[in-house]
Structure 1
């Protein structure tokens, strides 16, 4: 027994130690730093108490960024989950019923690869790719619009405050929906096809079977997806920083990018840490809230 414990300790302690040093320690250090006016480079600093948190209440840039995160928190999970369920349903049980029974559409394997493809690309590549697609003169989107004779709709998508945020939202949905198509599709494989066949015999259409059969039986998976997407919505730093850098005029700014600029551009690490601490508690609250709101009785077969 002692040899077994020693064996486990040898393999567990090094990764736990590294995790504690490089992940837990920076998080823990943010709390005391949030109560100072540290610039990030100076060896000296003053303790300012809760002044940094009081400053948040009057920071217009912070509240603008937080409002954008709030919109992402509402729209990103809903759009991604709805599209993911629809595509997964079509791939798994969207084909016409025949002698074999209910099955997916023709070419389901190909569609799974296509939908999952964004997951093999890094965030940096996705950001640069879409930034070029949105380019006003050479971008694929405006090129398509001009080719279709819709020159009036070809605008500077990332340069117009009316569209910049929605362009970022579209990228976030595109880059995440494929993963949840595969995730929901895997969950649907455990649902007996007899249920779908019985529903079709009773005259139920595809939408009814999706809402009344599929969703209740994969609800646990949907709940997990909702929490993960909520965390992505609260962050959103990488894509926003690459595609729009928060502009124009902070029209697509998010809290993660505001924190980054406050620390590394303005040299206010104390205030940036206060933003990080506030977002830590906000993320924790949202995760708990989503788990409670979406909690329901498990449907068993």
Structure 2
């Protein structure tokens, strides 16, 4: 009976596993192999060069600039996005005033708040980047128009043209278009926590601050950990590439102030026709992503709480 069960399971997994190996694992293996070659990507001819591409990468200032910006995204975006989303989700679900028959409740109109916060997820990242490109326009953009409206017309920064501001402008766009997803995600997790636990804590004199750190966060930790990894992947992945590619001059400017690793891979492969070297940078991006996920899983490991 057991032998037949495993055969049945293997039969169902064979086709999905084969597709996964063909379209996910095999391209990774090919990329790693091509990183040891000299290949333009425009012809089938290539030659094996060993570690030459990796040596070139370690001495490439553009790569280190892009790596630094990507690491800055990786260090700040998950912290800011997850932290703010947790705050909003807690206020929506638990931060309301006491009502009849319920010691703990969300704010009034919580469903509307969730829809408003989630709205950026409905828009394509390309549309969001284009919209904010107009917002940041130094001449007739909404942001500088707002500054002029409140009497700060003399201070009109060139948001995307200033090397000291451009990267932070891009980072804000990534924060704006992703925080709503995590608000809805954490709200779903919080709504599954029984109100009896909160009511018991409030009867014991616990404050909202205490209930968040002693009840909500521990019971929601698995979701937070998964969200942290997902946000890190977004900060290193196509969303960061799309925003920088569309919004910035160059792209990646001014003066390489907004280059990130995905953009460096793209420009190296398609603008410079150095596909093999681009795969080398891609391997470095893969290592950074896997290292980040491993660190989050290691540091976030704790005993599972059930209720």
TM-score tier (shorter): over 0.9
Deviation at 1:144, TM superposition (A): 0.9
Q: Which residue of 1 aligns with 2:264?
A: 258
Q: Classify the secondary structure of the residue corresponding to 2:157.
A: coil
Query: Would you say 1:243 and 2:247 are equivalent positions?
Result: yes
- Note the 1:192-203 alignment, pairs <5 A: 192-203=194-205
**Match of residue 28 from structure 2:** 27
**Aligned equivalents of 1:139, 1:16: Cα separation in 2:** 50
Q: Tell me the secondary structure at the aligned position of residue 38 of structure 2.
A: coil
Q: Which runs of 5+ in 2 are unaligned?
A: none
Q: Where do residues 66-215 of structure 1 align in structure 2 (5 Å cutoff)?
A: 66-101=67-102, 102-215=104-217
Q: Aligned equivalents of 1:92 and 1:175: distance in 2?
A: 21
1:206: Cα distance to partner?
A: 2.3
Q: Tell me the C-alpha RMSD between the 2 structures.
A: 2.2
1:273 counterpart = 2:275: no
TM score, norm. by length of structure 1:
0.92
Matched, 1:285 2:291: yes
2:236 and 2:245 mapped to 1: Cα distance? 14
- Per the TM alignment, residue 10 of structure 1 is displaced from its structure 2 partner at its CA by 8.6
Structure 1 gap ranges (5+)? none
**1:241-289 deviation digits (Å, cap 9, x = unpaired):** 1122211111111011011100000011111011111221221122111
Deviations 1:175-202 (A, max 9, x none): 1111110111111112121222233334
Q: Distance in 2 between matches of 1:175 and 1:201?
A: 38
Equivalents in 1 of 2:201, 2:12: separation in Å? 55
